[in-house]
Structure 1
Amino acid sequence: MEIRSLTRAEEEVMLILWQLGKGFVKDVLAEMPEPKPAYNTVSTIIRILEKKGFIGYTAYGKTHEYYPLISEADYKRFEMQQLLENYFDNSLTKLVSFFVKDHDLTTQDLDEIIKLMQNQKPD
């Protein structure tokens, strides 16, 4: 299955489903911040996510309980790869350089990044 980028509204629903593990439209709606969208709006977004292959459901008569088919970790990986490809020429160095220049990383932040990288480096 090919992962595609989500709209902001779709991503908001997925974040809730990932947190809940599974749920009905009313459960997703209950977790949304105020002002809450209409029930039908959330239901439509869920049906779109189902068509995109992001969620599945178990039917209980006319009611459906929805659950993620794609993990949050897989989606994060996909989005980070898109970010690297589209904005940083597939270069982690350019990505880190961007954060160093534009986000005032401290020496402590950089030390933590280096430690993380050293712990992940294959022997």
Structure 2
Amino acid sequence: MSRTSDSLPELSPAQREIMEIIWDVGEASVSDVRSQLPAERKTARNTVRTLLERMEQKGWLKHREVNRTFVYSATRRRNASIGQKVVEIVEGFCEGSPETLVTALLDYRGLSSGELARIRTLLEEAKASKSKKRRS
């Protein structure tokens, strides 16, 4: 079975912006989200409420009621969402090859020496972890 079988519907740019706020603060009401949006974007309270409701319908958010106010939180962590998107890109655009994705990243964006060092460390940790699992 594909690892993307639990994927959620795409978010619009406005919904993605709200999702980032929710991930940053943990949970938020309509007013909380609205206060975190950029000042130059005068987003109406009802618009924010509608966006949150649609995000909940899509499965990205859940809510609980506190003093008659809905407080929303994410149904999945930011890293899980990013991981899902990366798998979709690898499977959809890179013919299932993570190597193709990394090559494209290096060719079109490049990496700083700091980023390369952190990635090397991550690769070594993944390699060590895989070796431990084989021995178990």
> 1:12-65, CA deviations, whole angstroms, 9 ceiling, x for partnerless residues?
111111111111101001111132322111111100011112211122464211
1:42 pairs with 2:12: no
Distance 1:100 1:7 in 2: 28
> Over aligned residues, Cα RMSD in angstroms?
2.2
Distance 2:73 2:45 in 1: 18
Match of 1:2 in 2: 6
Normalised TM-score (structure 1): 0.85
Distance 2:15 2:34 in 1: 13
Match of 2:34 in 1: 29
Normalised TM-score (structure 2): 0.78
Mean Cα deviation higher: 40-49 or 99-108:
99-108
How many residues end up aligned between the 2 structures?
123
Aligned AA (2:14): A
Aligned AA (1:10): Q
2:20 to 15, 36, 58: 15
> 1:55-82, CA deviations, whole angstroms, 9 ceiling, x for partnerless residues?
1112246421111122212111111111
Cα deviation, residue 11, structure 1: 1.2
**Unpaired runs of at least 5, structure 1:** none
Structure 1 residues 58 and 96, CA, compared in 2 at 3 Å: closer, same or farther? same
**Unpaired runs of at least 5, structure 2:** 132-136
1:117 pairs with 2:87: no
Match of 2:103 in 1: 97
Q: Secondary structure of 1:67's match?
A: strand
Structure 1 residues 108 and 46, CA, compared in 2 at 3 Å: closer, same or farther? closer
Aligned AA (1:6): L
Structure 1 residues 33 and 107, CA, compared in 2 at 3 Å: closer, same or farther? closer
